Structures are given as C-alpha cells and as structure tokens.
Amino acid sequence: MTQKLTSERFLQMVAKSGIVDAKASDRLVGKVRKKFDGGLPSSPRKLAALFVREELLTEWHVEKLLAGKYKGFFLGKYKLLGHIGTGGMSSVYLAEHTKMGDKRAIKVLPKSRVNDATYLARFMLEAKAIASLNHPNIVLAYDIDNEDDVHYIVMEYVDGLDLQQLVKRDGAVDPSTAADLIAQGARGLAHAHNKGVIHRDVKPANLLIDVDGVVRLLDMGLALVTATDDESLTVANNENVLGTADYLAPEQALNSHEVDHRADIYGLGCTMYFLLTGKPPFSDGTLAQRIAKHQTEMPTAIRQLRPDCPGELEGICVKMIQKDPRYRYQSAADVAEVLEKFTSKVPKGTKVTAGLGDMPEFDTDESSSISLDDDDSSSRYGDTISNKNDDTLANNRSALVRKKGLSTSDSGRLVDVKPRPDLVGGSFLDLQSESGYRPNSQVGEKQAKPDKVRPVSKSGASDVGIADSQHGSTSKSVSSISGRSSGGRSRGIDPMLAVALLIACILVSLFIGFLAGGVFG
C-alpha cells in the first residue's frame, strides 16, 4: 500500500534528494512554521509551491518528488533541473553545475544504445569530433562522461526558440529575416563541413535562435564524421532514424552513409522554404509519397504561396533544393554569402522575439497560495541556490513546449512529459523510462502507423529508417518508393494508372475493330 504523502514526508524526501541546500531549506521551513504556528500546510503541494517560488526547486523536481522519486537527480557534477525534450536518439535535460551554478544541457543516451558496444564506440568518436567544433552558430559540447551505464554529453545551454516553434507561434517569417536566419545556419554548417562533420538532419527544429537573435545549430546526433576505415563505424550502425522526411535530400534517402555536405544544403533550403511559406516543401501525402516527391518533383513556387517574397530570394531557395547535388550551391559558405548580400539590401520586418516569459507558476490558485512576505522583501531570494535572476526551468523553449494545445514539433520530436503511473513505484528517477526509452513503452501518445518504404540504392536494398515529421514517427524501410502503401487499407486508384488503362482499352478496341473489318471485308 502506497504511503500517503504529507508535508512532513515531502520535506524528508527533499532532504534525501540533496537537491536543496540544507540551510536554505531550513530557513524557508522556519518561515513556513512561523506562519502556521509551528505546523506545516496540510497539502504538500502548497509547501512545494513555496519551494518553487523561492527558486529552491523547479516544477519538474516537484513533479518527481510528489511521485515518490528522490534519487537520481544528479549526473556527475551536475544537478538536473528539468526535462527539455526527447529526440530520435537521446533525451536532453537542463542541468546546473553544482559548484559554479552554470546552466548546461545534458544529452543522455538511452540504455538500449549503450548495450551495443559498436554503437557506443561510434557515439564516442562522433562526440569527440563535435566537441572540436567551436563556432558562434553551433551549440558547443563541453564534456563526455558516464555514470555507470548512463552515458551523456554536456553541452552549452541556449535559452531560446527553435525555428519550428517560431513559425508555429508567429507564422511565416518576413523574407529578409528568413534570409538572415538561414545565412547564420549556413555559417555554422560551413564550419562543421570544414572540420569533416556532416549534420544529416538539418531542419527547423535543429536551428535555435537565442534572445539576441543569434542562430545556433544543434543536435548533431545523426552527424556523419569523416574518418579512416578503422574509425568509421557509421555503416556498421544502420540507425533507425537517418533524417527527417520533410527535409531529406534525395540522395540521402538512397544511401545515408555516402552523402556529402551538399545534403545539408538541401535540408537548409527546405528549412528556408518552411520559414517563408509556413509549411515544408511537401506537406501532403504519406511518408512514402513525400519522400518520392523529394526525389522527383519541385515544390509549389514560393511566390505562388507568398507573393511578397522577392524573386531573388526564391531563386536562391530553388537552387538550394535542386534534386541533383551538382546544381545546388557547392558549399554552405556560398549560401551564407549570397544570403548576406540579399539581407544587406532588403530591410527586415518585425524583430523576432525569442523570449516568451517565464513558465506559469506551479500553483496559481490564490486560495491555495501562501504568502511569507514580510517587511524585509530583499530577503525573499536570499535562500536561492543561485542569486542570478535567470532561468532554472523557466526557460522560453520549455515554456512553449509545455503549453497546452501545441503539438509535438513536426520535426523536432519534443514531448511534453506527463506523469506516468509506471514511474510511481520505487524511489529512483529512471531517466531512460521517463524519456520514453523503456523497452516496449508507449510514451503518453499513440504512435502513428508508419508507411513503409525502401529507397532504391545503387548498392542494393538498404534498410534505412526515416523520421516522419508529420506524425513524429519512425518507419523502417521495407518497400519501394512509389507513393503507394503496402498496408491493408484500401486506397484510391492512381490517376495516371487509370489514364493508362483507358488508353490501353481504346487501343485494344481499335485493334479488334481492324481485325474484324479485315475478316468480314
């Protein structure tokens, strides 16, 4: 039988967790007991709300503590503050250095990947290569470490908004601003390419704009690193997700392991199309049909959807998304240069605001709030872990992700993690299952049944997985790219096939008529 959580029990769990400095906790509890004549609030949630207000705990901490979790809030030198999001290959947490107080983003590798020694070797190889990147338009990686079987990368934390969320919030971006954002992304890619790193998953959700308007390239989880034969482990690890369907270069669908830097230019071009029109180049149809369109069709003209877009900018975008890599810009530096020339001539529209304000208070019901304010208001924040009035989990990205009614990013794969019954048992915080990596788990949503495709490769059949950015799902490639599903559901007949059948019937009728005329004539 589960023990009912009281305020006293909550305080015991806070102490056991080690999250809050003991002296700071004692000072706050002393104020509370003074307010309640030596007692505590009857509801532990009211008490928890005070810890959040005084910036001693985050709402994520409270959620886990109230669920009975008080272990596992630390990774090495870092205290976890909250869950930022889950991607195709890892989960990212906001953390704080226990000594210096610096904020960092920590990418945790799922245990299912760690058990594959070859994959882990490749993870280390690529992480080291990514750590060598140092550019204003790339999120920096600081450290690679592990605690038992939990492997993680410590990265720069950037409080901002990714371009996927920006368009969801504000709609299509004005042409000059779009050009500036893509130019900055191109500069970051140019640096990575010069270091032998190909991103392979360039999309709006992987371009983050901070509060100063600087674009940062992030999530190098699918990066292809130039290495010697002995070092190259990419082909040996045929990943389940090798790109996102709506931004996938044609050649990448054929062979994800032999692409060059021009595949990133294609993805960046599709991202610019998204910024200008508010939708990916091919937003309709099944996953198989959209991949096929990327290989054979050009999208609807930008100026047809957006008449105010200058023809020069549309031409730049069209060149970036050419099907044949030979006809694209041949380097990301070339892309940056031509876009920077454009932005120098065309004034920008309304300035992009990355800040959305703090997350809502944990407890907004005035009837359940407790005021501990006294005449000395300056002491309100004296008990905090850090006296900096910056973000703990009150960062803009998390605030947007947590808002109700906002779907998980079409390509970003961020999730609003809700309390799960299977996490209540035990006292240890399981980062793997909490992020959705527990084997055979369903994380708070029904997965769309993927369409099955098998890109045709010169080297033969290739078993590659593609992320479906429309449904946030991943499909295993097992059938040909033809725009038709091999599932059991009935689909309408292809118009081209109908026309072909009609023509065949007419020709057969004419031939029969000709034979009949010859016999009876």
Report pLDDT for 485.
Answer: 39
Distance CA 244, CA 200 (A): 9
> Would you say residue 180 lies in a domain?
yes
Say if residue 171 is in the same domain as residue 45.
Answer: no
Residue 201 known to be catalytic: yes
Report pLDDT for 501.
Answer: 82
| pLDDT band, very low/low/confident/very high, at 191 (cuts 50, 70, 90) | very high
**Which range has highest mean pLDDT (35-39, 339-343, 431-435, 493-497)?**
339-343
> Would you say residue 218 lies in a domain?
yes
Distance CA 509, CA 95 (A): 75
Say if residue 166 is in the same domain as residue 48.
Answer: no
Residue-wise pLDDT for 275-295, tens only, equals 999 999 998 888 888 988 998
HSE of 324 in the Cβ direction (CA atoms, 13 Å)?
2
Tokens of 353: 């605001």
Residue-wise pLDDT for 346-404, tens only, equals 887 767 767 544 443 333 343 334 445 544 333 333 332 223 333 333 344 444 344 43
> Would you say residue 112 lies in a domain?
no
Q: 500 pLDDT exceeds 60? A: yes
Report pLDDT for 493.
Answer: 61
Last residue of a domain, one of 278, 310, 345: 345
For residue 364, CA distances in Å to 7, 43, 45, 339 come to 19, 15, 12, 46
In this prediction, what percent of the chain has a pLDDT beyond 90? Answer: 36
Say if residue 310 is in the same domain as residue 164.
Answer: yes
Last residue of a domain, one of 345, 363, 396: 345
Please count the other Cβ atoms lying within 10 Å of the Cβ belonging to residue 254: 18
306 versus 459: the higher-pLDDT residue is 306
Say if residue 170 is in the same domain as residue 52.
Answer: no
In this prediction, what percent of the chain has a pLDDT beyond 70? Answer: 64
> Would you say residue 205 lies in a domain?
yes
Say if residue 215 is in the same domain as residue 341.
Answer: yes
Say if residue 180 is in the same domain as residue 31.
Answer: no
Distance CA 447, CA 460 (A): 30
Last residue of a domain, one of 345, 362, 387: 345
Please count the other Cβ atoms lying within 10 Å of the Cβ belonging to residue 142: 14
> Would you say residue 179 lies in a domain?
yes
Report pLDDT for 361.
Answer: 38
Report pLDDT for 193.
Answer: 94
HSE of 84 in the Cβ direction (CA atoms, 13 Å)?
28
Report pLDDT for 57.
Answer: 92
Distance CA 454, CA 288 (A): 9
> Would you say residue 420 lies in a domain?
no
Q: 457 pLDDT exceeds 90? A: no
Report pLDDT for 326.
Answer: 95
Q: 479 pLDDT exceeds 50? A: no
> Would you say residue 47 lies in a domain?
yes
- Tell whether the torsion through CA atoms of 101, 214, 333 and 233 is positive or negative: positive
Tokens of 521: 């004539």
Phi, psi of 151, rounded to the nearest 5 degrees: -100, 140
Lowest mean pLDDT among 187-191, 302-306, 377-381, 455-459: 377-381
Q: Which of 162, 201, 363, 391 is catalytic?
A: 201
Instruction: State the CATH number of the domain containing residue 222.
Output: 1.10.510.10
Length of the chain as a residue count: 521
> How high is the mean pLDDT of the chain?
74
Domain count, the chain: 2
Say if residue 175 is in the same domain as residue 44.
Answer: no
> Would you say residue 201 lies in a domain?
yes
Residue-wise pLDDT for 108-141, tens only, equals 877 776 776 766 776 676 677 778 889 999 988 8
Tell me which residue range forms the domain holding 325: 160-345
